[in-house]
Amino acid sequence: MSEALPASIVAQMDALGRALVAVVTTHRDGTLATLKEATLTAMRSAMPGLFAAVRGESTTSLRPGKLGRTAACPGCGERCRVQSWRERTPTATCGTITLESRWYHCAAYQHGWSPADVT
């Protein structure tokens, strides 16, 4: 692999690994059904954090530090600057995550949007 692993994803995988080690130590010599349920519980608990980390790494509009960037209004095409950052709490199959995304507002079109919402 030529790229360094993103710290946000590594942290989530580390937490999952620790949760799975806890399953091993808590349910040593447990039944297959017990181990399966405990493993699934650990995986389900980890999924929102993992999903948020993957989404944060893959969605460039969620990355802070480039507040001067502009985006084309989906209604009229005029370039608009970031108005603010807004917190979103979307629910997906993986669970509910919280993230901040850029919010743009077009004065000409009288419409606000976030490119991350489209993604």
Q: Are residues 54 and 4 in the same domain?
A: yes
Q: What three-state secondary structure class fits 86?
A: strand
Is the pLDDT reported for residue 54 higher than 70? yes
Q: Are residues 9 and 51 in the same domain?
A: yes
Domain that holds residue 75: 62-119
| Residue 112 parent element (H or E) | strand 111-113
**At which of 16, 33, 58 does a domain end?**
58
pLDDT at 92: 77
The model's pLDDT over 22-37, given as tens digits with 9 standing for 90+, comes to 999 999 999 999 999 9
Average pLDDT rounded to a whole number, residues 30-47: 96
Average pLDDT rounded to a whole number, residues 104-112: 91
Q: Are residues 51 and 67 in the same domain?
A: no
**Which spans in 59-114 are helix H?**
none
Q: Are residues 70 and 107 in the same domain?
A: yes
Within a 10 A sphere around the Cβ of 82, how many other Cβ atoms? 18
The verdict on pTM exceeding 0.75 is no
